[in-house]
Chains A and B, each alone.
Chain A
């Protein structure tokens, strides 16, 4: 206990340890809170409980092996992680990806964004005491996971996006499956909004809580919905388009209230925008065409070719034993993940394993501003703030 000066005179403070097993920290985040009554005087986030050394492990794997590790960072956005890693490696190699594969990537990543926002909405609602929204959101997310399972054989750790394209051809009947989902979701989102947007408890818990000024948000390198809710339309899909995003017609929703309620409305608006992109991507994806680029020695050859062509068999063997070696140099690629700017920096020294593989995780950097959001607020607001920054501890700690 220490004594601090407050508006009403000197007061004794108490140190409270929140987490790492607190359910509202969405994983294993520990926040040391110094409290004056119920008011937070100082907050010190303590991380690393989920640190698995993925960046170090990547240095010991070949370029294609490391894709499976990226799935496990931000476990609500595995496809986005695959995408940023593959884009970085493709940039190093100077590899072009067929348009059809790019559109499939966009479609999958946008479905992933919807599923991530649904998990966010559900878990945040449960933190604020609205149990039913959680069940509804997970019901819809289940449909997306079923789509992923049909596409990639895996519900979460998909590893679907590969260097040079995507892993496999879309499954039979994928259009009907996604079409059904797109038809169903808008009315369901209206349902969530009917339950929450005008809800008095929801508004009382979120409105005016966790405000941050735009200058501060930029200075603290915040990105994603947290930055856009502060009033800046900065989105990597528009600012630095990748994977043919420039061909899609969508809006970047912004808010100016910069509080937890604004971030909620913004994410709901983003779900609707993502639906638009998925629809456009479905129209753009042709029924036949290449899903991988032709790059012998980098992209594994087709199964049929391996049965008939000796070179294909040799390349296949070499890719999976020694890997391939990009030219020396480095590349940084940033995409817009559901949480903000997800970056991947890869440096090559001309060997089959990366010299350095670094991930700029949006959760980690957005979390840095948490003390700024909660200092001076009530302890109950801490949960609202952690929730609306939308952190995934797997992404924070890597």
Chain B
């Protein structure tokens, strides 16, 4: 019961987003009661700003990324938003190609995105335009490569004879 009520509430949110800018909602994915709004990369920050200021999504709960290598666009960036007053959750997603992995930073919208985006930059190698302090956060500053990418072997490069596995060869 609660689930269906939540579903209605999120569909209202999606309708409001469509009403604000029809181009901002390129796809809506419903899976296990979670609503994902796929937003074009150029409109991501504007959509986030609208969600925060007009739709009361005041809390950025999480930001994460995944790599679908070798499918293009290979990266998927997800921002999990929570509206504390409405008790609602929604996910904004954008797809980023491997040839030009950059998006606008969310730090101007939610300052809490700072370290989350640094983590994504560090481990996945997506650049955030307008991030005030985009440095590696978990790995040493001189680390080469981005370990969470699918073409980065779990054991690292050192022990893998790259001649055996051409796909794993370092660029």
A332, B62: Cβ atoms under 8 Å?
yes
A331, B31: Cβ atoms under 8 Å?
yes
A350-380 CB contact bits vs B (8 Å, 1 = yes)? 0000011010100011011000000000000
Among residues 80 to 130 in chain B, which have CB atoms less than 8 Å away from a CB atom of chain A?
80, 84, 87, 89, 91, 110-116, 119, 123
Return the contact of B34 from the options A332, A355, A398 (Cβ within 8 A).
A332
With known contacts A218-B58, A332-B80, A355-B68, A48–B115 Cβ distance under 8 A: no
Shortest A175–chain B CB gap in Å is: 32
With known contacts A56-B154, A341-B61, A47–B138 Cβ distance under 8 A: yes
A240, B112: Cβ atoms under 8 Å?
no
Among residues 42 to 74 in chain B, which have CB atoms less than 8 Å away from a CB atom of chain A?
58-62, 64-68
In the assembly, what is the distance between CA of A329 and CA of B113, in Å? 24
Q: Which residue of B lies closest to A345 (CB)?
A: B64
Interfacial chain B residues near A240, Cβ < 8 Å: 87, 89
Return the contact of A334 from the options B61, B114, B119, B123 (Cβ within 8 A).
B61
Interfacial chain B residues near A349, Cβ < 8 Å: 68
A299-321 CB contact bits vs B (8 Å, 1 = yes)? 00000000000000000000000
With known contacts A221-B59, A343-B80, A397–B154 Cβ distance under 8 A: no
* Chain A contact patch, size range: 35 or more
Interfacial chain B residues near A345, Cβ < 8 Å: 62, 64, 78, 80
B32, A220: Cβ atoms under 8 Å?
no
B32, A221: Cβ atoms under 8 Å?
no
Q: Which residue of B lies closest to A234 (CB)?
A: B84
Return the contact of B31 from the options A47, A56, A330 (Cβ within 8 A).
A330
Interfacial chain A residues near B13, Cβ < 8 Å: none
Interfacial chain B residues near A289, Cβ < 8 Å: none
> Is residue B140 within 8 Å, beta carbon to beta carbon, of the partner chain?
yes
With known contacts A232-B84, A364-B115, A365-B116, A48–B138 Cβ distance under 8 A: yes
Interfacial chain A residues near B113, Cβ < 8 Å: 221
Shortest B31–chain A CB gap in Å is: 5
A331, B32: Cβ atoms under 8 Å?
yes
> Is residue A91 within 8 Å, beta carbon to beta carbon, of the partner chain?
yes
Interfacial chain A residues near B110, Cβ < 8 Å: 219, 221
> Is residue B40 within 8 Å, beta carbon to beta carbon, of the partner chain?
no
B87, A355: Cβ atoms under 8 Å?
no
Shortest B86–chain A CB gap in Å is: 10
Q: Which residue of A lies closest to B154 (CB)?
A: A60
> Is residue B137 within 8 Å, beta carbon to beta carbon, of the partner chain?
yes
> Is residue A59 within 8 Å, beta carbon to beta carbon, of the partner chain?
yes
Interfacial chain A residues near B87, Cβ < 8 Å: 239-240
A51, B139: Cβ atoms under 8 Å?
yes
> Is residue A96 within 8 Å, beta carbon to beta carbon, of the partner chain?
no
Q: Which residue of A lies closest to B59 (CB)?
A: A218
In the assembly, what is the distance between CA of A56 and CA of B156, in Å? 11
Q: Which residue of A lies closest to B136 (CB)?
A: A48
Return the contact of A221 from the options B36, B64, B78, B112 (Cβ within 8 A).
B112
> Is residue A169 within 8 Å, beta carbon to beta carbon, of the partner chain?
no
Among residues 122 to 162 in chain B, which have CB atoms less than 8 Å away from a CB atom of chain A?
123, 136-140, 147-148, 152, 154
B147, A53: Cβ atoms under 8 Å?
yes
In the assembly, what is the distance between CA of A356 and CA of B84, in Å? 27
B112, A219: Cβ atoms under 8 Å?
yes
Residues of B within 8 A of A (CB): 31-32, 34, 36, 58-62, 64-68, 76, 78, 80, 84, 87, 89, 91, 110-116, 119, 123, 136-140, 147-148, 152, 154
In the A-B complex, the 9 residue pairs with the smallest Cβ-Cβ separation, listed nearest first, are A221-B112, A356-B66, A360-B62, A48-B138, A358-B64, A60-B154, A51-B138, A220-B112, A368-B115
Residues of A within 8 A of B (CB): 47-48, 51, 53, 55-57, 59-60, 91-92, 94, 218-222, 232, 234, 239-240, 329-332, 334, 341, 343, 345, 347, 349, 355-356, 358, 360, 364-365, 367-368, 397-398
- Inter-chain pairs besides A57-B154, A218-B84, A343-B61, 10 sampled, C-beta below 8 Å: A47-B137, A48-B140, A53-B147, A218-B59, A221-B61, A331-B31, A332-B62, A334-B62, A343-B62, A358-B62
